[in-house]
Amino acid sequence: MDFINGWSIGIGIAALAAPIAVHFLTKPKPIAYSLSTIHFLQEVIEQRRARSRFRDLLIMLLRTLCIALLAAAIARPMLSARPAVPIAAEQDSLRVIVLDVSQSMSAGSGGVSSWSTAVASALQYLDQGSGVRAAVIFAGARSNSVFDSLSPNLAALREAVKQAVPRAERADSRSALELAATLLDQEESGRKELVIISDFQRSNWGTLLLDLIPSDTQVQFHSVAPHETGNLAVTAVRFSMEPVIGQATVMEIELSNHMEREANVRCSIDLGVMNRTFEAKLMPQSTQTFSESIVFHEIGWKHGWVRLENNLDVLPEDDERPVAIRVRPPVKVLLVSRQNSKEVPSSSFYLQQALDIAMTVGEAELRSDAEQLASSVVRVHPGRDALHDWPPCDVYVLDHPGSLSAETCKFLAAQLRRGKGVLYVTTELVDAVNLKELEEILGADFQPPVNMVAETGGHPRQDLFVRQVRGREAPFQILGSANVTSLLRSVRFHGGLNTTATQEGLKDQVKAELSDRSALLYCTVVGAGQMAVLNADLGKSNWAVEPTFLPVMSELIQSLLASRSFRDPNSSGEPLVRILPATANDVSKLAGETIVGPAPSNGDFGQWNWVASQNSVVWNWQEPPGPGIYSLGQDGAPVWMVATSIPSIESELSSLNREVLTGRMSGGRAVGYTSTESDAEQDDTLWNWLIVACLCGLFAEIGAAVESNVRTLLCGRLNRKFQ
């Protein structure tokens, strides 16, 4: 058995003589007294003497036991199982210490954080030892080791531990263990030891597996989980869609309460051009989303913070979250068609009319803006208008485009990858060829649920009706899920192409099916954009004149824009990849800038390169710092802005307990577990109470002895006086 304060055992053994000496020395000095009835007393004493002797012996034993327990309580024996990895390293030990540096490690209360405890523990494990080689792995989003191999330079490792600070990122336990396994595998002889010092958050360490670690390695879990885990946090800030100038955008703020009681919070939104504050009551152990409707009146990048005000919890770092959002001009639609714009009725005519109305509704509030002076729907002829003359837009609508050139197909593919939307109305066989061409160019990015095939003889596509429709999903959701079938019952479709299901595509992507089981409409994600295919000739069908056409088309255009609408702030420490807009066309002029937050080490804002396959510049940043707001600008104007924040999982501080770590997580191997908080604190409390009880017993004994001596002394004096 080990003792924390072994020195007290020696003192305790020496002190055991004290109660025995006290037993004999504190026997009261009798007062001589003559008594006539002494033979009565002798009779009584004969009966009582054996009992008194037993009582005296028992008292002496209890006193001795009290001293022994006091010494043991001060010595603090470690009753739990011997740790797999002792703190003091044995000779020729190969010790790898995995130190969790995730944001949750900075949690703490009363001036003591998990991190300070973890550093102290790590330094203990790195204490001097002859022939010991060790390594320290900092487990963050990207784990890194101080040295590339195990090193005998423990002083340098200790210094590295002292210099380390928690990072605003999660802990990737898997990569940390892979690195530890690599370091241990490099060694062949010696006692291999792995010490994992962490708070063992469920979210980070719940999938921990030790199968990578060499089987001859002794594994020790050292938990520094905080006793208090109540925490409030802003865990997400989202926009329902990319804000458009003049249009109301819903900002969703996700607040989490990881406490066992209700919490009243005051949350402020500071986006520079807009400041708001709201108060909310959060239920215990819940995550609630609050919505704020915001209208932006300027185009461009906006950034700011969402903060919980006056919130005193164990992890203040997650009480605020940066926001960076681009406010874009109104949606522009490019209608690509070979049909004559004046040909009435025609499919493209109906489409243009519907799109004009749909776009006008959304722009009603911005008539004063110069950007809105131009028409929202522009029509081009793929045969007459050169590709480079096509105006920039957000959604491409292709109706009777004829055979598209390879260049046009590549252009559309690039636009799709950049996040643009494409609506293809298929009516002719050439449309199937165009789609096939796009499919080949996009490769794996485009996996349609159906393939368009030529019309087979005997079954002309006419008078087709809607057989099945996904009324709960866009774009038919706007008709109401209960009424969608009845509303579309009178619609008859003509033209279009037969379809066959593909193996790669998802059947869920088919939003509506016609009576001949061919797909009427499907939507699929392509790169960063979305593509929808409407399989009907609107000129011959009666849908364009039905009241359901306009809302469905409007909703369809919005859904095509949804995929590029908003990106959640990037978690700090996680790799960041962004396809920059077409305005970022000169790589040499791009430069990173820190707007708010810690500057990246060595001014490294990552790399931005022209990627031919994407037909755009791609920004790749492996280790963005955070939390903060960083921009990539060109000629002083921001091209892209990114907000990095603490991963939301770091706010949930509940940790894995001993049983889980030594049972399920151990993978069948014997692992050790030590804790500096909960168990140790409970043990401390018990030992402290034992010390108090022993001291109380001893003081009571001393008090009784003093009182007895005083009484004896007084009686002796009185006796002498009267004799």
Instruction: List, in order, residues 6 or more apart from 433 with CB less than 8 Å away.
Output: 403
Establish if 684 lies at the interface with another protein (CB under 8 A).
no
- Please pick, from the candidates 25, 36, 189, 547, the single residue that binds another protein as defined by CB under 8 A: 36
Least CB distance from residue 690 to another protein, whole Å? 31
> Applying CB under 8 A, which part among 374-382, 519-527, 677-685, 704-712 lies near another protein?
704-712
Reading the block at residue 489, the tokens are: 């019952």
Alpha carbon distance, N-terminus to C-terminus of the chain: 61
Q: Is 718 in the site for another protein (CB under 8 A)?
A: yes
Beta bridge partners of 379: 335
Out of 38, 120, 692, 695, the residue judged to bind another protein by CB under 8 A? 38
41 in contact with another protein (CB under 8 A) = yes
Element at 95 (helix H, strand E): strand 93-100
Distance of closest approach, residue 20 Cβ to another protein, in angstroms: 20
Examine residue 680 and tell whether it contacts another protein (CB under 8 A): no
- Closer residue to another protein (CB): 27 or 261: 27
Q: How far apart are CA 402 and CA 631, in angstroms?
A: 42
Spatial separation of the C-alpha atoms in residues 586 and 608, rounded to whole Å = 10
CB 717 → another protein: shortest distance, Å? 10
**Closer to another protein at the Cβ: 39 or 388?**
39
Q: Which long-range contacts link 204-207 to residues 24+ away (Cβ below 8 Å)?
A: 204/100, 204/102, 204/104, 204/170, 204/171, 204/172, 204/173, 204/649, 204/650, 205/171, 205/173, 205/655, 205/656, 205/665, 206/656, 207/173, 207/174
Nearer to another protein, 489 or 711 (CB): 711
Q: Which stretch binds another protein (CB under 8 A): 34-42, 307-315, 535-543, 551-559?
A: 34-42
* Pairing state between β 510-514 and 466-469: antiparallel
Piece of 47-55, 265-273, 414-422, 632-640 that binds another protein (CB under 8 A): 47-55
Whole-number Å distance between alpha carbons of 137 and 143: 7
Q: Which of 1, 25, 32, 50 binds another protein (CB under 8 A)?
A: 32
Task: Tell me the closest approach of the beta carbon of residue 260 to another protein, in angstroms.
Answer: 55
Q: Which of 421, 446, 374, 447 is nearest to 565 (CA)?
A: 421
Cα separations (Å) of 428 from 23, 318, 431, 583?
A: 113, 56, 5, 35
How many CA atoms lie within 13 Å of 315's alpha carbon, on the beta-carbon side? 37
Is residue 40 a contact point for another protein (CB under 8 A)? Answer: yes
575 versus 716: smaller Cβ distance to another protein: 716
Q: Pairing state of beta strands 466-469 and 616-621?
A: unpaired
Nearer to another protein, 44 or 577 (CB): 44
43 touching another protein, by CB under 8 A: yes
Looking at 289, 607, 609, 708, which residue binds another protein (CB under 8 A)? 708
Q: Please, which residue, 1 or 32, has the CB nearer to another protein?
A: 32
Shorter beta-carbon distance to another protein: residue 374 or 714: 714
684 vs 105: CA distance, rounded Å:
23
Least distance CB 56 / another protein (angstroms): 10
| Peptide bond preceding 581 in cis form (omega within 30 of 0) | no
Could you give the 3-state DSSP secondary structure of residue 401?
A: coil
What is the C-alpha to C-alpha distance for residues 510 and 684, in angstroms, rounded to an integer?
64
Task: Note whether 33 binds another protein by CB under 8 A.
Answer: yes
Pick the stretch among 87-95, 270-278, 516-524, 711-719 that binds another protein (CB under 8 A).
711-719
Least Cβ distance, residue 36 to another protein (angstroms): 4
Q: Does 29 bind another protein (CB under 8 A)?
A: yes
Nearer to another protein, 1 or 24 (CB): 24
Contact 537, 427 (CB under 8 A): yes
Q: Does 34 bind another protein (CB under 8 A)?
A: yes
Q: Return the residue of 7, 10, 17, 48 that touches another protein, per CB under 8 A.
A: 48
Q: Residue 693: phi, psi to the nearest 5?
A: -65, -45
Judge whether 469 and 529 are in contact, CB under 8 Å: no
Which residue of 59, 78, 691, 715 would you call a contact of another protein, by CB under 8 A? 715
- Residue 104 tokens read as 């949750």
Phi, psi of 550 (to 5 degrees): -65, -50
Binding of another protein at residue 50 (CB under 8 A)? no
Distance between CA 312 and CA 237 in Å, rounded?
21
**At 699, which helix (H) or strand (E)?**
helix 678-722
Cis peptide before 627 (omega within 30 of 0): yes
Residue 40 or residue 699: which is nearer to another protein going by CB?
A: 40
39 binds another protein (CB under 8 A): yes
Binding track over 51-90 against another protein, x by CB under 8 A:
-x--------------------------------------
Residue 42 as a binder of another protein (CB under 8 A): the answer is yes
Residues that bind another protein (CB under 8 A): 27-45, 47-48, 52, 708, 711-712, 715, 718-719, 722-723
